[in-house]
């Protein structure tokens, strides 16, 4: 809530970009609720039931920004200068307060953790530690490389196809992304026992790499551009989902918070640094299609493919 108030003050009263940035950082610092929810369900449930609930948390994380975009869009575009954007902060504050009451009233701490001493991270088996660090580093590279597809959907698409920047078109794209994310989750839950999580992670990062390479080519019209982007996200989500499930399966239950926290920290750090680098490349080169920038992000995504590859041998075979 403090972060939201800082953001509101930055736009409505102080008119300060730096205060706005401080509010974003503040919210990010105290906003690790997704990792906490995954740990909670990982401690309470086992097997397929755990995967269902953890998968639902990840789904809400992936779709939260999309649904939020649908809610905020009328504030941003009416009037067109975005004067009412910061008024949407009050909606965010209200939802946060409501969910605080819901969690406080209905969520009960698991019995086996109430008097539990702090676990020792060194108690993680050596092979499990190796697998977890490989997955976390590969996921961080995946987060960084995915900046290319995010810029394709945002900056580049608005420049190449400005007719798709209207609120009606943006809503269509957001709804399509919701469908893609749900289909990706169903795919992972139904195929991870067949192909294994490492294979799905490799497939996801390879899809991100291929999507960036293809979208860097000249001459792609709006229809194929949108289809290729959504196809890439359909498979690209597999790596994000697979990494979270790998942590749930490999990390000791009493250390889920430790390993989820490190995965979230590295992933968010990579997401924060990547735009500073790749947006600078995009601006410096001046190519509207962003081919050079996409080559750079594709290289990072390729490194992510290579980073996930050792897990194909290290992870236990699906039963």
pLDDT attached to residue 172: 84
Q: Given this model, what pLDDT does residue 69 score?
A: 64
Tokens matching residue 225: 């551009």
Condensed to tens digits (0 to 9), the pLDDT of residues 64-96 reads 666 666 666 666 666 665 567 777 788 888 888
* φ and ψ of 239, to 5 deg: -70, -40
- Cβ contact 232:177 at 8 Å: no
User: To which H or E segment does residue 123 belong?
Assistant: none
Q: How many residues can be counted in the chain?
A: 319
* 221 contacts 289 by C-beta, under 8 angstroms: no
Q: How many Å apart are CA 103 and CA 2, to the nearest integer?
A: 19
d(CA 213, CA 130): 31
Instruction: Quote the pTM value.
Output: 0.83
Q: How far apart are CA 47 and CA 126, in angstroms?
A: 23
pLDDT < 70 stretches in the chain: 31-32, 62-83, 110-118, 317-319
Predicted confidence at residue 113, as pLDDT, reads: 56
3-class state of residue 318 by DSSP: coil
* Alpha helices (H) in the chain, listed in sequence order: 2-9, 17-29, 33-44, 47-77, 88-106, 126-145, 147-151, 157-160, 167-195, 197-215, 222-250, 256-285, 291-308, 311-314
d(CA 264, CA 257): 10
Q: Quick: pLDDT tens for 97-151.
A: 988 888 888 877 766 555 556 677 778 899 999 999 999 999 999 999 999 998 9
Q: Is the torsion defined by CA of 261, 239, 251, 141 positive or negative?
A: negative
Amino acid 205: pLDDT: 96
> What is the full DSSP assignment across 132-147?
HHHHHHHHHHHHHHTH
Cα dihedral 299/304/305/309 (nearest 10)? 140
């Amino acid at each position: 809530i403090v972060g939201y108030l800082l953001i509101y003050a930055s736009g409505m009263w102080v008119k300060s970009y730096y205060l706005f940035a401080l509010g974003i950082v503040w919210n990010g610092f105290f906003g690790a609720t997704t990792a906490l929810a995954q740990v909670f369900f990982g401690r309470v449930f086992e097997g397929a039931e755990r995967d269902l609930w953890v998968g639902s948390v990840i789904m809400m994380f992936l779709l939260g920004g999309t649904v939020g975009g649908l809610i905020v869009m009328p504030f941003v575009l009416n009037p067109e200068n975005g004067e009412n954007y910061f008024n949407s902060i009050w909606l965010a504050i209200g939802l946060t307060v409501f969910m605080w009451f819901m969690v406080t009233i209905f969520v009960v701490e698991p019995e086996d953790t109430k008097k539990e001493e702090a676990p020792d991270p060194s108690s993680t088996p050596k092979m499990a530690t190796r697998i977890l660090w490989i997955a976390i580093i590969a996921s961080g590279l995946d987060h960084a490389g995915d900046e290319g597809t995010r810029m394709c959907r945002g900056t580049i698409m608005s420049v190449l196809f400005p007719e798709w920047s209207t609120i009606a078109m943006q809503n269509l794209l957001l709804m399509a992304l919701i469908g893609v994310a749900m289909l990706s989750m169903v795919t992972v839950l139904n195929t991870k026992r067949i192909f294994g999580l490492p294979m799905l992670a490799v497939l996801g990062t390879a899809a991100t790499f291929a999507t960036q390479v293809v979208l860097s080519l000249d001459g792609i019209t709006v229809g194929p551009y949108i289809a290729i982007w959504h196809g890439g996200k359909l498979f690209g989500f597999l790596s994000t989902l697979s990494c979270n499930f790998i942590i749930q399966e490999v990390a000791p239950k009493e250390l889920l918070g430790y390993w989820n926290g490190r995965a979230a920290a590295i992933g968010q750090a990579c997401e924060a640094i990547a735009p500073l680098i790749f947006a600078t490349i995009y601006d410096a080169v001046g190519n509207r299609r962003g081919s050079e920038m996409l080559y750079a992000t594709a290289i990072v995504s390729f490194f992510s493919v290579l980073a996930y590859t050792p897990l194909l041998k290290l992870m236990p075979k699906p039963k």
